[in-house]
Amino acid sequence: MIKPQVSVIIPVYNQEKYLAECLESVLEQKGASFEIIAINDGSTDRSGEILKRYQRHIILIEQENQGPASARNQGIKRAQAELIAFLDADDRYLPDHLAQLVNFIKTKNALLFYGDVRVIDEKGNFLWVQKSPSEIKLQDLLVKNQICASSVAVRREVFEQELYFKNLHPVEDWELWIRIRELGEFSQYNWVGVEYRKHQTSAIKSKIIDAEEKSLFVLEDAFKRHKELNRWLKRKALSSLYYQSFLRFLAGEDIKGARKRALLSLRYYPFWISAWLGLGLTLIPQNLLKRFINLRREFKKWKNQSK
């Protein structure tokens, strides 16, 4: 049996609304041989039924709910191709993405490939193109994860070194990208091949704190491995981490929590201008702040659509 050129791994948990779109976007790919490995991670909605409808065209793995890291790892272990791609069940590929990817990697020595993505809303409407940096050094990745997981493809040889996703949702992908970057180069491809779905989710305080704590673990673990990196890089990375938490608390209209994170961001890196501006926002009357947040969302949407 001839091995496929790409193994597409799709973890699935309660995505009945978008799952068929996702699967169809892969099945419609032309110019490259591929296999689809879908892992039903204990879904309680109709996702299981939908997957069974596609069973002739996919490799289906069923497991109790263990989270996306475990689901992706099961897919990796089952994959046959030399190139392993990741696609979330609510995202979708654009036409010819896999064919372009297969041709692109022939001229590159990188271990991981990534690209820009089209951001769409829950109804599939275009919002903006989320840009990724043309080059990513380890130092850049420690400061902030700028890679969309659904745009990523990784050479199989990486996982033959027992490198897998850790149970660190929602930052398990960032943690793995850091460890892969320690082994070799990344390469950005120059087309938009993926649509990433942006959901209007509520900012739940417990989830924000959980993400913050796991991000702290990722950074501490990485800097233990890289004692040669200067202390200012670590301070900048911690400042960026707390600034991202600040934005989430602000979106959830938790002004006290947002102010605390802005102060922590500035404590670690006082030159972060955005954190100073954020701190100032938390000091204005709440009704004006809510208006500003709404205006900022509309401005960001308009700015990205006009690019």
Q: What are phi and psi of 202, to 5 degrees?
A: -80, 145
Residue 86's CB: how many other CB atoms inside 10 A?
24
Give tens-digit pLDDT for 49-82.
999 999 999 999 999 999 999 999 999 999 999 9
Which band of pLDDT confidence, cut at 50, 70 and 90, is reported for residue 306? low
Averaged confidence pLDDT in the chain:
93
Quote the percentage of the chain above a pLDDT of 70: 93
Q: Are 91 and 196 in contact (CB under 8 A)?
A: yes
Are 151 and 162 a contacting pair, CB within 8 Å? Answer: no
Enumerate the β-bridge partners of residue 86. 9
**Across 95-107, average pLDDT:** 97
Residue with tokens 């660190």: 168
C-beta of residue 197 within 8 angstroms of C-beta of residue 128: no
Using alpha carbons, list the distances in angstroms from residue 223 to 140, 169, 179.
13, 20, 12
Six-digit token string for 235: 């301070």
Place of tokens 């950074």: 219
Per-residue pLDDT band at 15 (split at 50, 70, 90): very high
pLDDT for 91 beyond 80: yes
Please determine, for residue 201, whether its predicted confidence score (pLDDT) is greater than 70: no
Q: How far is it, in rounded angstroms, from Cα 212 to Cα 170? A: 10
Residue 81 CA to its chain's centroid (Å): 22
Q: Where are the chain's structural domains?
A: 6-197, 205-305
Evaluate if residue 165 carries a pLDDT over 80.
yes
Has residue 264 got a pLDDT over 80? yes
Sheet strands (E) in 83-152: 83-86, 92-93, 112-114, 117-120, 126-130
Q: Which CATH architecture has domain 6-197?
A: Alpha-Beta Complex (3.90)
pLDDT at 33 over 80: yes
Residue, of 203 and 14, whose pLDDT is higher: 14
Q: Give the pLDDT confidence of 121-136 residue by residue, as tens digits.
A: 999 999 999 999 999 9
